[in-house]
Structure 1
Amino acid sequence: MAKYDKADLERRMQGAVEALKHDLSGLRTGRANTALLDTITVEVYGAHMPLNQVATVSVPEPRLLSVQVWDKSNISPVEKAIRSAGLGLNPINDGNTLRLPIPDLTEERRKELAKLAGKYAENARIAIRNVRRDGMDALKTDEAKKEISEDERKRSETELQKLTDEVIKAADEVAGAKEKEILGK
């Protein structure tokens, strides 16, 4: 068992919040966002490559994404990958560039996305609590090895719980803001 390291635990908890932010950035809110296409892979040159390695994605207008494919022979596979990604986007091919108008979200789809955002937030909370549990275990081990006193363990446990509460609150705020954005409130 590793020795109690508050800085490492805090870094791991913040990592869970960063992962949550990344997950949430991929949810469509009715506004164009380049992160929307981050998960798409394209089959080109006999391999699966992330979209950002074969094209440049930009946001020329609030409700439009533009995908500039570097090699014109890859336009068709990129278009196919975007269509089949399940994002509800229909690329318009103008020869050199793919334009992706972002359609309005239906109320039902908004609710589904808000529910998914809540699920991502719960996963982040679970990850944060798992880090806390690791820290608590390390403290108990350190006390059992007589490396720290009972008072030190209790003080550190209180500190760790306070840190956990703060990080969970930050994760909830991030998710809450995204849910409001999705629901258009």
Structure 2
Amino acid sequence: MISNLKKETEEKMKICVKNFVSSINTLRTDRASPDLLKNLYIEYYGKKTVLSNISNITVEDSRTLRINTFDHKINKQVEKSIINSNLGLNPISIGNIIRVPIPQLTEERRKKLIKILYNKSEKSKISIRIARRESNDLVKNLLKNKDISRNEEKKLQNEIQLLTDFYVKEINNLTTKKEIQLNSF
């Protein structure tokens, strides 16, 4: 039971880090990458659908993405969604193809992206701390029900805190790497 608690806590924290990595991959640098549009949702027949589920997104060259939608009737919606996505991208429709040129980062846009990066970082750390709090609450309930001793409670809480510290540090390291990447272009 105790080892399951630690495993579940660690899994929750790993998911927080994984989600953070996924979200910062959408913050663009100067290169075209399909990950930029990975989390973009389109209204498709009354349902919000991920753009990658209804289209092929490919890299045409280092500064251009190419989108081929499976249903060309939604191209205008795709364009509108990209424009409204706060990514600073302006798609161009040419026939049934949507091209998304990736402009060079301006200093103002770079600062804005770094601010977004730190906001996402803080939200991820909060998620990790929530997982810690939930686990500590379970440990306290185990002590209250006399399933574990006071010493075991302290030991478990210390182990959970070590996991928390490790994953918060991981988020900080990833944030620093991404900030360096954003500043290097």
Band of TM-score, shorter chain: 0.7 to 0.9
Q: Which runs of 5+ in 1 are unaligned?
A: none
After TM superposition, the structure 1 stretch with the greater mean CA deviation from structure 2, 139-148 or 67-76, is 67-76
TM-superposition CA deviations, 1:126-168 (whole Å, max 9, x none): 1111211222222222122211111111211221111111111
CA distance in 2 between counterparts of 1:48 and 1:150 reads 49
Query: What does residue 149 of structure 1 align with?
Result: 149
**Corresponding residue for residue 42 of structure 2:** 42
Q: TM-score, normalised by structure 1?
A: 0.87
The runs of 5 or more residues in structure 2 that have no matched partner are none
Secondary structure at the residue paired with 1:172?
helix
Match of 1:183 in 2: 183
Alpha-carbon spacing, 1:25–1:150, altered in 2? closer, same or farther (3 Å): same
SS of 2:79's equivalent? Answer: helix
Give 1:7 shift: 0.8
Q: Any residues of structure 2 matched to 1:19-34 within 5 Å, and which?
A: 19-34=19-34
Partner of 2:171: 171
- How many residue pairs are counted as aligned between the two chains? 184
Following superposition, the deviation at residue 111 of structure 1 comes to: 1.0
> In 2, distance between residues paired with 1:148 and 1:41?
47
Structure-2 separation of matches of 1:48 and 1:10: 31
Cα distance between partner residues in 2 of 1:167 and 1:183: 24
CA distance in 2, matches of 1:170, 1:77: 37
The Cα offsets for residues 50-102 of structure 1, whole Å up to 9 and x where unpaired, read as 32233110113222111112233333332333233332222232223221110
Pair 1:16 & 2:8 matched: no
Q: Please, what is the CA RMSD of the aligned residues?
A: 2.2
Distance 1:135 1:49, change over 3 A: closer
The alignment's TM-score, normalised by the length of structure 2, stands at 0.87
Q: 1:107 to 1:135 in 2, by over 3 A?
A: same
Which residue matches 1:82? 82
Match of 1:92 in 2: 92
Q: Return the alpha-carbon distance in structure 2 between the equivalents of residues 22 and 103 of structure 1.
A: 22
Mapped partners of 2:90, 2:82: distance in 1: 8
Identity of aligned residues (%): 35
Q: Which residue of 2 aligns with 1:55?
A: 55
